[in-house]
Structure formats: C-alpha cells, structure tokens
Structure 1
Amino acid sequence: MAKKSKVVKELKRQELVAKYADRRRELKAKGDYAALQKLPRDSSATRQKNRCAVSGRPRGYLSKFKVSRIVFRDLALKGQIPGITKSSW
C-alpha cells in the first residue's frame, strides 16, 4: 500500500490538470509560452503518474485495468476480472 500522502497528492494533481486543461490548450494555440509558465506546474498533464486504483502503487501499472500487477494477479486468481484465467498446460 502506498503512502496516503502520495495518493492524495496525485488526486490533487489530477484536479489541477482538469481545471487548467482548457486554459492550457488556448495558450498553446496562441503560442503564449510566458503565460503558460505562470500556470501551476502540476497543471501539466505530463506530471501525472499512473497509480493503482486499489493500492496506490505507482510501478507495475496495467493501464487497461487501472491496477498494479500485484492487485491484478489477486483479482484474477479470485475470478473477479471477467475473461481472465490462470493459464496452465
């Protein structure tokens, strides 16, 4: 489980990106890079980090399922992800 502070910080970052998305798009279209620099740093979408929805883990993230590899394996073994079965031959 990731630190709660890291998960909360990432949520705040997502809110900032959503808040400033239209403004950033307008400024980029105008080419006004001085005004872009005055916006908060965390309002840039490239500063976002994908995190697991269950555990908050930043590494081993599977974007199709929005969970980490560890949580994915647990859910798959429990049969909670439709269409996923453990392979055996």
Structure 2
Amino acid sequence: MPKPFPNIRVMRDIKAREGFAGAEIARRAYLYVARNQALPAQVRYQAQLQLNTFDRYTRPTSVVNRCTETGRGRGVISEFGLCRYQFRLKARAGELPGVKKASW
C-alpha cells in the first residue's frame, strides 16, 4: 500500500526540528549573555532583544514527538517514530526489522 501524503502536524514537527537545529547555537549564546549577571544591563538587554527576533519554530519546546504515519502526539515510540497502534500494525505485518511477537 503506498504511503499517503504527510499529515500537516508531521510537516509542522519537521519544520520545528529543522528550525531548532539551525538556530540552536546562536540561541544558546544569546541566552547565556542575557542571563549573565556579570555583564552590563545594556548588553543583556540587547541579547534579550535578539532572542525575541527568533522565529517561533526555533524554540526547543516546539519540538514534539509525533507519529510519522498518523501525526498522533500520544503513545509515540521514539525509536521507531510510530504511535503504539501503528507500531503494532507494522510489527504484525513484519514491516519492522528486528521486531517480532513475544512467545509464551
């Protein structure tokens, strides 16, 4: 069965991951400067202004684990990127390498 087009939630999660990865170093540097009490207030203020100019998808909290098949945000098995229901379906169909049903 061909894979359907990606869910909009999955596309948003991919965009958030790429945005965070691209701006992580600069964002951490500005955070360090903004929170450093030893620096003058004007320098810390400028660093805070620079932090405010970043896109919303550069925040680490915008990255959410989602199922790559359905876009579901709960019950996601991170190693496979699937929710538990999709994981079960794919495991039973033998589409996941190294995964098999437990025997009694």
* 1:76 and 2:91 aligned: yes
| Whole-Å separation in 2 of the counterparts to 1:6 and 1:76 | 24
Gap regions ≥5 residues in structure 2: 35-46
Following superposition, which runs of at least 4 residues in structure 1 exceed 3 angstroms of deviation?
none
Aligned to 2:28: 25
Question: Identity rate of aligned residues, in percent?
Answer: 32
| Whole-Å separation in 2 of the counterparts to 1:23 and 1:82 | 38
Deviates more, 1:3-12 or 1:47-56: 3-12
Q: Deviations over 1:20-74 (max 9, x none)?
A: 1221022122223332122122210111111112222221100122111111101
- Look at both structures and tell me which one has the larger radius of gyration over its CA atoms: 2
Letter paired with 2:48: Y
TM-score, normalised via structure 1 length: 0.76
Paired residue secondary structure (1:55)? coil
Cα RMSD of the aligned pairs, angstroms, is: 2.2
Deviates more, 1:4-13 or 1:45-54: 4-13
Aligned to 1:64: 79
Aligned length: 88
Aligned to 2:18: 15
Asked if the contact 2:65–2:76 (Cα under 8 Å) also holds between the matched residues in 1, the reply is yes
